[in-house]
Amino acid sequence: MADVGSRQVFPDRLRGIALLGIVVVNAPPLGISVDGFTASSLEGVWNAAAAFLVVVLAQGKFYLLFSFLFGYSASFILRDGSGPNRRRYARRLVGLAIIGVVHAVFFYLGDILMTYAVLGFGLLALSSRSDRTLRRWAVAAVVVGVLLPFVMIGPLADLDPNALTAPTNPTLAALDAALADGSFLTAALARVQTLPLALAALFVQQGPMAFSAFCLGLLAARHRLLADPARRRAQWRRLAVFGVVIGLPIQVVAGAMALFHFGGESSQPTVAALGTALIFVTAPILTVGYLGLLGWGLALWPRLLAFAATPGRASLTVYIGESVLLSLLFCGYGLGYFGQWGALPVVISGIVAWVVLALLARVWLGRFAQGPLEVLLARWTGKRKLLARVEVR
Protein backbone atom coordinates (compact mmCIF):
# COMPACT_ATOMS: atom_id res chain seq x y z
CA MET A 1 0.00 0.00 0.00
CA ALA A 2 1.57 3.26 -1.05
CA ASP A 3 1.35 6.47 0.88
CA VAL A 4 -1.76 8.52 0.38
CA GLY A 5 -0.45 11.98 -0.48
CA SER A 6 2.31 12.77 1.96
CA ARG A 7 0.71 10.87 4.84
CA GLN A 8 1.27 7.18 5.47
CA VAL A 9 -1.99 5.27 5.96
CA PHE A 10 -0.88 2.34 8.10
CA PRO A 11 0.26 4.42 11.14
CA ASP A 12 -3.14 6.12 11.38
CA ARG A 13 -4.93 2.78 11.40
CA LEU A 14 -2.55 1.37 13.98
CA ARG A 15 -3.01 4.47 16.12
CA GLY A 16 -6.79 4.15 15.96
CA ILE A 17 -6.66 0.50 17.04
CA ALA A 18 -4.21 1.39 19.82
CA LEU A 19 -6.68 3.97 21.15
CA LEU A 20 -9.37 1.27 21.30
CA GLY A 21 -7.05 -1.00 23.26
CA ILE A 22 -6.07 1.83 25.59
CA VAL A 23 -9.65 2.80 26.43
CA VAL A 24 -10.68 -0.72 27.45
CA VAL A 25 -7.70 -0.74 29.84
CA ASN A 26 -8.48 2.76 31.14
CA ALA A 27 -12.21 2.15 31.59
CA PRO A 28 -11.94 0.12 34.86
CA PRO A 29 -9.92 2.81 36.72
CA LEU A 30 -12.39 5.38 35.42
CA GLY A 31 -15.52 3.39 36.25
CA ILE A 32 -14.81 0.78 38.95
CA SER A 33 -11.93 1.85 41.20
CA VAL A 34 -8.75 3.81 40.76
CA ASP A 35 -7.09 0.41 41.34
CA GLY A 36 -8.82 -0.97 38.27
CA PHE A 37 -10.71 -4.24 38.54
CA THR A 38 -11.81 -5.22 42.04
CA ALA A 39 -12.91 -8.56 43.42
CA SER A 40 -16.56 -7.48 43.44
CA SER A 41 -16.39 -6.33 39.81
CA LEU A 42 -15.40 -9.86 38.77
CA GLU A 43 -18.48 -11.52 40.22
CA GLY A 44 -20.22 -13.59 37.58
CA VAL A 45 -18.79 -15.51 34.65
CA TRP A 46 -19.21 -12.73 32.09
CA ASN A 47 -17.57 -10.09 34.25
CA ALA A 48 -14.64 -12.39 35.03
CA ALA A 49 -14.27 -13.28 31.35
CA ALA A 50 -14.30 -9.62 30.29
CA ALA A 51 -11.64 -8.70 32.84
CA PHE A 52 -9.52 -11.69 31.85
CA LEU A 53 -9.64 -10.74 28.17
CA VAL A 54 -8.70 -7.13 28.93
CA VAL A 55 -5.73 -8.20 31.04
CA VAL A 56 -4.53 -10.86 28.61
CA LEU A 57 -5.14 -9.09 25.31
CA ALA A 58 -4.86 -5.38 26.12
CA GLN A 59 -3.19 -4.45 29.38
CA GLY A 60 0.35 -3.24 28.74
CA LYS A 61 0.19 -3.99 25.00
CA PHE A 62 -1.57 -1.13 23.27
CA TYR A 63 0.24 1.63 25.12
CA LEU A 64 3.43 0.07 23.71
CA LEU A 65 1.98 0.17 20.22
CA PHE A 66 1.00 3.80 20.84
CA SER A 67 4.54 4.49 22.11
CA PHE A 68 6.05 2.90 19.01
CA LEU A 69 3.92 5.20 16.86
CA PHE A 70 4.95 8.19 18.98
CA GLY A 71 8.57 7.50 18.08
CA TYR A 72 7.62 6.81 14.47
CA SER A 73 5.84 10.17 14.16
CA ALA A 74 8.74 12.02 15.79
CA SER A 75 10.85 11.21 12.77
CA PHE A 76 8.73 13.45 10.55
CA ILE A 77 9.68 16.47 12.67
CA LEU A 78 13.26 15.51 13.52
CA ARG A 79 14.41 13.82 10.33
CA ASP A 80 16.48 16.77 9.09
CA GLY A 81 18.03 17.47 12.52
CA SER A 82 17.64 21.22 12.03
CA GLY A 83 17.60 23.57 15.00
CA PRO A 84 14.14 25.03 14.28
CA ASN A 85 12.57 21.58 14.04
CA ARG A 86 14.29 20.39 17.20
CA ARG A 87 12.99 23.46 19.03
CA ARG A 88 9.54 22.83 17.57
CA TYR A 89 9.63 19.27 18.85
CA ALA A 90 10.73 20.40 22.30
CA ARG A 91 7.81 22.85 22.40
CA ARG A 92 5.54 20.01 21.36
CA LEU A 93 6.72 17.95 24.34
CA VAL A 94 6.08 20.86 26.69
CA GLY A 95 2.60 21.22 25.21
CA LEU A 96 1.92 17.51 25.71
CA ALA A 97 3.05 17.80 29.33
CA ILE A 98 0.64 20.68 29.94
CA ILE A 99 -2.25 18.79 28.35
CA GLY A 100 -1.22 15.73 30.37
CA VAL A 101 -1.35 17.63 33.67
CA VAL A 102 -4.82 18.95 32.86
CA HIS A 103 -5.93 15.46 31.83
CA ALA A 104 -4.55 13.82 34.98
CA VAL A 105 -6.00 16.38 37.37
CA PHE A 106 -9.45 16.80 35.89
CA PHE A 107 -10.24 13.51 34.13
CA TYR A 108 -7.90 10.52 34.38
CA LEU A 109 -5.11 9.98 36.87
CA GLY A 110 -3.34 7.39 34.72
CA ASP A 111 -2.42 9.89 31.99
CA ILE A 112 0.49 8.84 29.75
CA LEU A 113 1.21 12.22 28.17
CA MET A 114 3.37 13.50 31.01
CA THR A 115 5.48 10.34 30.86
CA TYR A 116 5.71 10.71 27.09
CA ALA A 117 6.80 14.32 27.41
CA VAL A 118 9.64 13.50 29.81
CA LEU A 119 10.82 10.48 27.83
CA GLY A 120 10.44 12.46 24.61
CA PHE A 121 13.37 14.66 25.58
CA GLY A 122 15.48 11.52 25.77
CA LEU A 123 14.33 10.63 22.27
CA LEU A 124 15.19 14.15 21.14
CA ALA A 125 18.73 13.69 22.44
CA LEU A 126 19.07 10.44 20.47
CA SER A 127 17.32 11.57 17.31
CA SER A 128 20.50 12.29 15.37
CA ARG A 129 22.38 9.22 16.58
CA SER A 130 23.03 6.11 14.50
CA ASP A 131 20.72 3.15 14.08
CA ARG A 132 23.12 1.10 16.17
CA THR A 133 22.92 3.56 19.06
CA LEU A 134 19.13 3.57 18.92
CA ARG A 135 19.06 -0.23 19.04
CA ARG A 136 21.39 -0.25 22.06
CA TRP A 137 19.23 2.22 23.95
CA ALA A 138 16.11 0.23 23.07
CA VAL A 139 17.67 -2.97 24.44
CA ALA A 140 18.91 -1.22 27.60
CA ALA A 141 15.47 0.23 28.24
CA VAL A 142 13.89 -3.22 27.87
CA VAL A 143 16.33 -4.66 30.41
CA VAL A 144 15.40 -1.93 32.90
CA GLY A 145 11.72 -2.42 32.09
CA VAL A 146 11.99 -6.15 32.81
CA LEU A 147 13.86 -5.73 36.09
CA LEU A 148 11.87 -2.89 37.68
CA PRO A 149 8.48 -4.62 38.06
CA PHE A 150 10.07 -7.70 39.61
CA VAL A 151 12.02 -5.51 42.04
CA MET A 152 8.63 -4.11 43.07
CA ILE A 153 7.00 -7.52 43.67
CA GLY A 154 7.48 -7.16 47.43
CA PRO A 155 5.63 -3.84 47.72
CA LEU A 156 3.01 -5.00 45.21
CA ALA A 157 2.26 -8.06 47.31
CA ASP A 158 1.02 -5.87 50.17
CA LEU A 159 -2.40 -5.50 48.60
CA ASP A 160 -5.81 -4.49 49.85
CA PRO A 161 -8.02 -7.62 49.92
CA ASN A 162 -10.55 -5.86 47.68
CA ALA A 163 -8.06 -4.59 45.08
CA LEU A 164 -6.13 -6.36 42.37
CA THR A 165 -3.33 -4.14 41.19
CA ALA A 166 -2.40 -1.41 43.67
CA PRO A 167 -0.67 -1.31 47.08
CA THR A 168 -2.77 -0.35 50.09
CA ASN A 169 -2.86 3.43 50.37
CA PRO A 170 -5.47 5.59 52.10
CA THR A 171 -5.09 8.25 49.41
CA LEU A 172 -6.43 5.80 46.80
CA ALA A 173 -9.48 5.03 48.93
CA ALA A 174 -10.10 8.78 49.34
CA LEU A 175 -9.89 9.23 45.57
CA ASP A 176 -12.41 6.44 45.01
CA ALA A 177 -14.81 8.18 47.40
CA ALA A 178 -14.28 11.53 45.68
CA LEU A 179 -14.90 10.04 42.23
CA ALA A 180 -18.05 8.29 43.43
CA ASP A 181 -19.70 11.15 45.31
CA GLY A 182 -17.63 14.32 45.05
CA SER A 183 -17.97 17.43 42.96
CA PHE A 184 -15.79 18.13 39.94
CA LEU A 185 -13.43 20.22 42.10
CA THR A 186 -13.36 17.66 44.94
CA ALA A 187 -12.39 14.91 42.50
CA ALA A 188 -9.69 17.10 40.96
CA LEU A 189 -8.16 17.87 44.38
CA ALA A 190 -8.18 14.17 45.24
CA ARG A 191 -6.38 13.38 41.97
CA VAL A 192 -3.74 16.01 42.77
CA GLN A 193 -3.06 14.32 46.12
CA THR A 194 -2.67 10.94 44.43
CA LEU A 195 -0.66 12.17 41.44
CA PRO A 196 2.87 11.50 42.83
CA LEU A 197 1.97 7.86 43.56
CA ALA A 198 0.38 7.47 40.13
CA LEU A 199 3.38 8.93 38.32
CA ALA A 200 5.75 6.61 40.19
CA ALA A 201 3.62 3.56 39.33
CA LEU A 202 3.40 4.59 35.68
CA PHE A 203 7.16 4.95 35.45
CA VAL A 204 7.76 1.50 36.91
CA GLN A 205 5.16 -0.22 34.74
CA GLN A 206 5.45 1.73 31.51
CA GLY A 207 8.36 4.17 31.38
CA PRO A 208 11.34 2.04 30.30
CA MET A 209 9.32 -0.09 27.88
CA ALA A 210 7.75 3.04 26.38
CA PHE A 211 11.18 4.56 25.82
CA SER A 212 12.35 1.39 24.11
CA ALA A 213 9.28 1.60 21.86
CA PHE A 214 10.09 5.27 21.14
CA CYS A 215 13.56 4.29 19.94
CA LEU A 216 12.29 1.41 17.83
CA GLY A 217 9.59 3.63 16.33
CA LEU A 218 12.14 6.25 15.33
CA LEU A 219 14.34 3.53 13.86
CA ALA A 220 11.37 2.06 11.97
CA ALA A 221 10.50 5.46 10.50
CA ARG A 222 14.02 5.86 9.15
CA HIS A 223 13.51 2.67 7.17
CA ARG A 224 9.87 3.43 6.27
CA LEU A 225 8.67 0.24 7.90
CA LEU A 226 5.00 1.20 7.79
CA ALA A 227 5.00 3.04 4.47
CA ASP A 228 3.96 0.12 2.26
CA PRO A 229 2.77 -3.00 4.15
CA ALA A 230 2.37 -5.04 0.97
CA ARG A 231 6.11 -4.98 0.34
CA ARG A 232 6.84 -6.61 3.71
CA ARG A 233 4.21 -9.35 3.77
CA ALA A 234 6.64 -12.12 4.71
CA GLN A 235 8.16 -9.99 7.46
CA TRP A 236 4.74 -9.21 8.95
CA ARG A 237 3.85 -12.91 8.90
CA ARG A 238 7.00 -13.83 10.79
CA LEU A 239 6.36 -11.15 13.41
CA ALA A 240 2.75 -12.30 13.81
CA VAL A 241 3.69 -15.93 14.32
CA PHE A 242 6.51 -15.11 16.74
CA GLY A 243 4.52 -12.63 18.82
CA VAL A 244 1.26 -14.54 19.06
CA VAL A 245 2.61 -18.07 19.45
CA ILE A 246 5.03 -17.06 22.20
CA GLY A 247 3.35 -14.02 23.72
CA LEU A 248 -0.27 -15.13 24.01
CA PRO A 249 0.29 -18.26 26.17
CA ILE A 250 2.50 -16.27 28.54
CA GLN A 251 -0.17 -13.59 28.87
CA VAL A 252 -2.87 -16.20 29.54
CA VAL A 253 -0.84 -17.67 32.40
CA ALA A 254 0.11 -14.25 33.78
CA GLY A 255 -3.47 -13.01 33.55
CA ALA A 256 -4.75 -16.04 35.46
CA MET A 257 -2.15 -15.42 38.15
CA ALA A 258 -3.02 -11.73 38.44
CA LEU A 259 -6.81 -12.06 38.46
CA PHE A 260 -7.67 -15.40 40.01
CA HIS A 261 -5.16 -15.62 42.86
CA PHE A 262 -6.55 -12.56 44.56
CA GLY A 263 -9.36 -12.01 47.00
CA GLY A 264 -11.30 -14.48 49.10
CA GLU A 265 -10.03 -17.08 51.54
CA SER A 266 -7.53 -18.55 49.06
CA SER A 267 -5.96 -15.17 48.30
CA GLN A 268 -2.29 -15.34 47.25
CA PRO A 269 -1.16 -11.71 46.88
CA THR A 270 2.41 -12.60 45.98
CA VAL A 271 1.22 -14.77 43.10
CA ALA A 272 -1.07 -11.97 41.94
CA ALA A 273 1.77 -9.46 42.12
CA LEU A 274 4.07 -11.80 40.19
CA GLY A 275 1.39 -12.25 37.54
CA THR A 276 0.94 -8.48 37.21
CA ALA A 277 4.69 -8.00 36.79
CA LEU A 278 4.83 -10.81 34.23
CA ILE A 279 2.01 -9.18 32.23
CA PHE A 280 3.98 -5.97 31.78
CA VAL A 281 7.45 -7.38 31.19
CA THR A 282 6.28 -9.82 28.52
CA ALA A 283 3.72 -7.48 26.91
CA PRO A 284 6.19 -6.43 24.15
CA ILE A 285 6.13 -9.95 22.72
CA LEU A 286 2.39 -9.92 22.10
CA THR A 287 2.59 -6.29 20.93
CA VAL A 288 5.03 -7.41 18.23
CA GLY A 289 2.50 -10.08 17.31
CA TYR A 290 -0.25 -7.47 16.98
CA LEU A 291 1.94 -5.31 14.76
CA GLY A 292 2.69 -8.33 12.60
CA LEU A 293 -0.96 -9.40 12.40
CA LEU A 294 -2.15 -5.93 11.43
CA GLY A 295 0.62 -5.46 8.88
CA TRP A 296 0.04 -8.89 7.40
CA GLY A 297 -3.70 -8.32 7.22
CA LEU A 298 -3.25 -4.93 5.58
CA ALA A 299 -0.86 -6.42 3.05
CA LEU A 300 -3.53 -8.94 2.09
CA TRP A 301 -6.57 -6.63 2.32
CA PRO A 302 -5.64 -2.97 1.74
CA ARG A 303 -8.98 -1.68 3.08
CA LEU A 304 -8.62 -3.57 6.37
CA LEU A 305 -9.18 -1.34 9.42
CA ALA A 306 -9.95 1.70 7.29
CA PHE A 307 -12.52 2.75 9.91
CA ALA A 308 -9.71 3.11 12.48
CA ALA A 309 -7.78 5.67 10.44
CA THR A 310 -10.07 8.57 11.37
CA PRO A 311 -9.60 8.39 15.16
CA GLY A 312 -5.94 7.68 14.45
CA ARG A 313 -5.62 11.03 12.66
CA ALA A 314 -7.08 12.81 15.71
CA SER A 315 -5.40 10.59 18.30
CA LEU A 316 -4.71 13.27 20.93
CA THR A 317 -8.29 14.51 20.82
CA VAL A 318 -9.70 10.98 20.95
CA TYR A 319 -7.36 9.93 23.79
CA ILE A 320 -8.45 12.85 25.97
CA GLY A 321 -12.05 12.56 24.79
CA GLU A 322 -12.27 8.96 25.96
CA SER A 323 -11.47 10.04 29.51
CA VAL A 324 -13.88 12.97 29.37
CA LEU A 325 -16.81 10.82 28.22
CA LEU A 326 -16.15 8.04 30.73
CA SER A 327 -15.62 10.41 33.64
CA LEU A 328 -18.96 12.08 32.84
CA LEU A 329 -20.60 8.65 32.76
CA PHE A 330 -19.15 7.32 35.99
CA CYS A 331 -18.12 10.15 38.34
CA GLY A 332 -20.41 11.70 40.93
CA TYR A 333 -20.46 15.03 39.10
CA GLY A 334 -21.74 13.17 36.00
CA LEU A 335 -24.21 10.29 35.85
CA GLY A 336 -22.72 8.75 38.98
CA TYR A 337 -22.24 5.07 38.10
CA PHE A 338 -18.73 4.84 39.59
CA GLY A 339 -18.19 1.50 41.32
CA GLN A 340 -21.71 0.28 40.54
CA TRP A 341 -21.11 -1.81 37.42
CA GLY A 342 -19.30 -5.06 36.84
CA ALA A 343 -16.30 -5.48 34.56
CA LEU A 344 -18.26 -6.34 31.40
CA PRO A 345 -20.49 -3.24 31.17
CA VAL A 346 -17.56 -0.99 32.10
CA VAL A 347 -15.41 -2.45 29.32
CA ILE A 348 -18.31 -2.15 26.87
CA SER A 349 -18.71 1.51 27.86
CA GLY A 350 -15.09 2.11 26.87
CA ILE A 351 -15.67 0.55 23.45
CA VAL A 352 -18.80 2.68 22.96
CA ALA A 353 -16.84 5.82 23.89
CA TRP A 354 -14.26 4.97 21.21
CA VAL A 355 -16.97 4.45 18.59
CA VAL A 356 -18.69 7.74 19.46
CA LEU A 357 -15.45 9.67 19.26
CA ALA A 358 -14.47 7.95 16.01
CA LEU A 359 -17.76 9.13 14.48
CA LEU A 360 -17.30 12.66 15.82
CA ALA A 361 -13.74 12.70 14.50
CA ARG A 362 -14.98 11.69 11.08
CA VAL A 363 -17.39 14.62 11.02
CA TRP A 364 -14.72 17.05 12.24
CA LEU A 365 -12.06 15.82 9.84
CA GLY A 366 -14.53 16.14 7.00
CA ARG A 367 -14.05 19.88 7.40
CA PHE A 368 -10.65 20.38 9.04
CA ALA A 369 -7.18 18.96 8.57
CA GLN A 370 -6.62 18.10 12.25
CA GLY A 371 -8.51 17.35 15.43
CA PRO A 372 -9.19 20.21 17.88
CA LEU A 373 -6.37 19.38 20.29
CA GLU A 374 -4.03 18.66 17.39
CA VAL A 375 -4.75 22.19 16.12
CA LEU A 376 -4.05 23.65 19.55
CA LEU A 377 -0.79 21.72 19.91
CA ALA A 378 0.35 22.60 16.39
CA ARG A 379 -0.26 26.29 16.99
CA TRP A 380 1.70 26.05 20.22
CA THR A 381 4.64 24.62 18.29
CA GLY A 382 4.45 27.40 15.69
CA LYS A 383 2.71 25.57 12.85
CA ARG A 384 0.08 27.90 11.39
CA LYS A 385 -1.51 26.41 8.29
CA LEU A 386 -3.96 24.05 9.93
CA LEU A 387 -7.62 24.44 9.14
CA ALA A 388 -7.77 23.72 5.43
CA ARG A 389 -10.67 21.56 4.34
CA VAL A 390 -9.52 18.02 3.53
CA GLU A 391 -11.04 14.83 2.20
CA VAL A 392 -11.39 12.03 4.76
CA ARG A 393 -9.69 8.95 3.36
pLDDT tens per residue, range 202-226: 887 789 999 999 999 999 999 999 9
Interatomic CA distance for residues 143 and 122, integer angstroms? 17
Q: Are 47 and 179 in contact (CB under 8 A)?
A: no
Q: In this predicted structure, what is the pLDDT of residue 384? A: 57
- Segment 53-79 mean pLDDT: 93
Q: In this predicted structure, what is the pLDDT of residue 261? A: 60
Neighbouring residues of 255: CB distance < 8 A, sequence distance ≥ 6: 52, 55, 56, 275, 279
Is the model more confident about 269 or about 249?
A: 249
- Segment 275-280 mean pLDDT: 86
- In this structure, which amino acid lies at residue 218? L
Q: In this predicted structure, what is the pLDDT of residue 152? A: 62
* Nearest in space to 306 (alpha carbons), one of 81, 3, 23, 13: 13
- Segment 376-389 mean pLDDT: 69
pLDDT value at 182 more than 70: yes
Is the model more confident about 384 or about 322?
A: 322
Q: Are 277 and 149 in contact (CB under 8 A)?
A: yes
- When pLDDT is cut at 50, 70 and 90, the band that residue 267 belongs to is low
Which pTM value belongs to this model? 0.89
